[in-house]
Structure 1
């Protein structure tokens, strides 16, 4: 991959343009192919919709007729005369009487079957296995009799469908006795109706062989037609396909197949349309589109090569002229460039030549400006180095004062100088903005040490910080300005001792810091000015607004400070930030 990137970067404009034309053509062809595929997909959906409508209409029509047949089976099995004949036949012992009863049953079946269009034959199988039929006199094999009787008994009086072979569909229902005095609902026999499924399909399905073929299967046997387009193995493969429609290739050819499953019978209705007849025009369109694309690609390459040549030849000439004057002095550059300008061209290449002339003029100006900037940069660097001397000089001076105070046993002066030196180092150090709470408290203690020299016993300072919170990370100089505020606004205005406290707690993953004083408090008007940043602390000049902004930049807008104060009751400043441990370096949680 690196080799190809390098080759592309080093290739000339001519080759890059040819490559760009090829890529654009391929992208256009891909887009067109996607659009064409989408159109064909819409066409397929329309075909599926049409085929689905045919399937739905066909299945609804067929199943309506099957429901009518089911109603016939119910009507026949609940006929009082047949019920009575079968009860008598069960209790009768005389052969002649049985024959007469079977004749009556047959005549009754003829009355039912004669007016039904889609009933091929109607048969009653009694308890002795004898068959009484009406309509077509085609018999029922003994094994089929027992199968139908067992199936009807299994459905216990409900209608059951049985597929005996291609286009051979039977409806079976058991006679249940309800005319006897005890209403026992015992089985009296079995009714079997052979249905003319081929005639039902012919009347209800408006398709021809050219449009495809409708097939009905129960998943194991073919119900219709006798000669399906698919073999048994192909049929099983089609039923295993999960898509409701698609293009499938089987032994008999390629078909556009659509299927739907009946919720009434559980049968699957399939509509198979020969693919070649249906999609021949689409195949031709695809071939024409591919041929047109190849022709357009060749034409685009020829035109692109000619266009890129007209652009690159003047550029190559300009490069040659630039190389000729590459070793010359600056005074001759402008004169050489003037002779290289093609005055007759007004396109981008001519503009490039004229711009080159202006560039040579600008080079002289930039050289002069660069010399001046280098001098200014050196002067600035010198001043920066000199500025670094001042803090070190101050630290050394403070160390000398501290040594002198210790030599003269002035412990308070020494303590105050050490605190001042620590404060200065902490303020100007270039450490990271997040420091441990322990270090921030050291800064506060140093500041309090200095102030105690001034206020003595009037300043009462108290810390309530658990040891496990000392490693919590907080923004640098967060608490010291708040303590400075408390001294300035609570301690200075009064002569009584003032208690200033710092409390730290952790709740729900958030670190809460509180700076409290029992001073005179603040008026509502002054409190608003302090909140808005109109009043800042003395010394470092870091106001509440500055602390709030630094907390927002570090942790986000949900975190910050809150100021509470009432005149005569003291002031309390609450700082809420995420609890970040120094060892782990990540936020432990967020406040709710």
Structure 2
């Protein structure tokens, strides 16, 4: 771009130098001055004699011949006009004629006078009287270089105008633009007027102002960022002696377009090379990692369900010829076998430990209940209640058969309620009209499986702590289910448990240390704590243990857990038992 810009600058400067030299040769030509003075004298006389008219034409012809000799046969200028200061004009070059003009109406007149002999170059103007060449044939625009004749005293004597075809001045610019469609040449004169392209087009941005604002160095490339057309690369040169500026611009996208084929080819070759390399690497790695894939698949089968499965499941072999992989495979197989045996032993131990803890907690209820019943029988014997003793013994026999059986840790709610009634009947025989109870078993809850002996400790706790008021005493047992949970509610009319005591008990049972409590189990004073421990052992976070004192004169104990309709369903969710 810098070379192209320098070439355009050199070509335009050469053309401007040419027409400037022609004007200087005419100004300093004594022959032209002498003939021009005589022409000026004879042409302006009124009623000029035929002899004088002939002399005027003769001087005009002489001027034309001298000008023709100067511009040569190829006409290095399109037209040369010589003006007297009073408006007489000799046209030499393409035309040979004399005319009279009003100099003050010419656009360059005042500027030419102000320059006092220095050259003035006009902007491109349309002149239909002169033939144009090349691309200028349609627009027919010409540029004039004008300067004054000065006499020996330095006063204006006349004006010389050298007219040149714009196509000739800017021929290289047009040629370079045709050869480089993406490049555009813009030439501004000393007055910052756009002289090329000389075809008027208001869509051109003012590149001269943009370059002035960028403060870019002459002869070096830079970047212009236009709001309407995007980014352009540019370079510019100043035509020395004329103060014209040649600017060459090219869109940044067009500049990189020449690299697109190389870039595309490079990327295609690179992509193809990468694909071939990847295919070769994949083929080699596939053969090398096939044993590892088998080993990975085998180790992926080591799940907790396969480890705990009682049926022996063997891992497949990697079948590798690589010694290290074979050793690794055998090590994993050995680890798997040890893991199976160890896990099953740990689960068996954990199951036995849990079952032992539950049975230990349950067994504490048996002697405690027996002590209370024997005490009741001794009191009844002292009062000669023989028939009641017989009935009580029958109830006790049924109840002790139930509590002494340790085969199952969960029973249907219906069965638990039946044997609880045996115990309550014994208490009713002891206290007669001083104690009554009622059962309100919800529909559909009788076959729900619940922990064995979960109600009796709560009922005993009521007799020990709740019935400290004057009889009659009342006890209510009810059951219901909600949202997949069963609930048992034991309510007494003692109403002796305060809110502070309730919160203290709930906080105590909520923060129980399971391991510590199992090590300190004892007979007596363990009723509610025993119930809480067994619920948490069976149901963990799903266990329900609540105390309600909101009803005046009533205290309710509520226990519950998830619903299971069979022992198989329960043990499926709790394999540790």
TM-score by length of 1: 0.33
> Greater helix share, 1 or 2?
1
